């Protein structure tokens, strides 16, 4: 009698490609969200090119680049801790998974706190969204990204609650990985935003 092996083509293909419906949905969302950010960046570049005057963001009187560089480092570190959390989940190290995931949430919250602090000082210095084109585009980009960070922190907190309840382990880590995709996307967008808005000098300077 010959041995037969039952094969589930769809499930096997998903395992081979590392793609699940949830992961595909997140990638689709990130693609569409990325186009939204691309439109904002395009509007920023067009406004900057055609503006009669544009301030030098490296001037301490305009933006606090050093503080924002620190904030960028914090957000990059949060991506690293997110990776460590997923790795810990895959090896069933529940304590490490929870610790690294909580670290990611705290770092993301710290990023938001520093951004609020920056807004507070900028607005008390007279830099308000309706002041000029620079201010309008600055707040549009950073606020839109900040909303994504806030969404990500809330999302990760929900995942953390599930992790505390023992829902995620080496055989069920995909929800954690999907949350990580969103978080890494937010991190990547910020690096681009920081480069364009905070570091690039005006062409005339």
On whether the CB atoms of residues 33 and 145 are closer than 8 A, the answer is no
Q: What is the pLDDT of residues 24-64, one digit of tens each?
A: 999 999 999 999 999 999 999 998 888 888 888 888 878 99
Q: What is the pLDDT of residues 75-113, one digit of tens each?
A: 999 999 999 999 999 999 999 999 999 999 999 999 999
What are the DSSP calls for the chain, one per residue? --------HHHHHHHHHT--HHHHHHHHHHHHHHHHHHHHHHHHHHHHHH-S----TTSTTT--HHHHHHHHHHHHHHHHHHHHHHHHHHTT-HHHHHHHHHHHHHHHHHHHHHHHHHHHHHHHTT--TTS-HHHHHHHHHHHHHHHHHHHHHHHHHHHHHHHHTT--BTTB-HHHHHHHHHHHHHHHHHHHHIIIIIIPPPTT-
Q: What is the pLDDT of residue 139?
A: 94
Mean pLDDT estimate for the chain: 88
What is the residue whose two structure tokens read 């969204």?
Answer: 129
Residue 4 has pLDDT above 60, yes or no: no
For the chain, percent of residues with pLDDT exceeding 70: 89
Q: What is the pLDDT of residue 6?
A: 44
Question: Around Cβ 49, how many Cβ atoms within 10 Å?
Answer: 9
Domains of the chain are: 20-45+65-199 (1.20.120.80)
Cα–Cα distance measured from residue 98 to residue 30, given in angstroms and rounded to the nearest whole number: 25
């Amino acid at each position: 009698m010959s041995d037969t092996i039952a094969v589930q083509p769809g499930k096997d293909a998903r395992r081979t490609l590392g793609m699940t419906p949830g992961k595909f949905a997140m990638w689709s969302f990130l693609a569409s969200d990325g186009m939204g950010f691309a439109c904002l960046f395009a509007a920023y570049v067009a406004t900057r090119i055609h503006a009669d005057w544009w301030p030098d963001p490296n001037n301490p009187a305009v933006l606090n680049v050093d503080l924002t560089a620190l904030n960028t480092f914090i957000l990059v570190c949060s991506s690293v801790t997110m990776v460590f959390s997923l790795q810990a989940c895959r090896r069933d190290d529940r304590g490490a998974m929870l610790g690294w995931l909580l670290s990611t949430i705290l770092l993301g919250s710290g990023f938001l706190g520093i951004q609020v602090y920056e807004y507070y000082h900028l607005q008390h210095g007279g830099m308000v969204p309706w002041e000029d084109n620079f201010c309008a585009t600055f707040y549009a980009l950073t606020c839109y990204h900040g909303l994504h960070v806030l969404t990500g922190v809330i999302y990760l907190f929900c995942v953390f609650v599930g992790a505390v309840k023992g829902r995620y382990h080496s055989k069920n880590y995909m929800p954690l990985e999907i949350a990580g995709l969103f978080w890494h996307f937010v991190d990547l967008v910020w690096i681009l935003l920081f480069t364009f808005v905070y570091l690039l000098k005006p062409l005339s300077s």
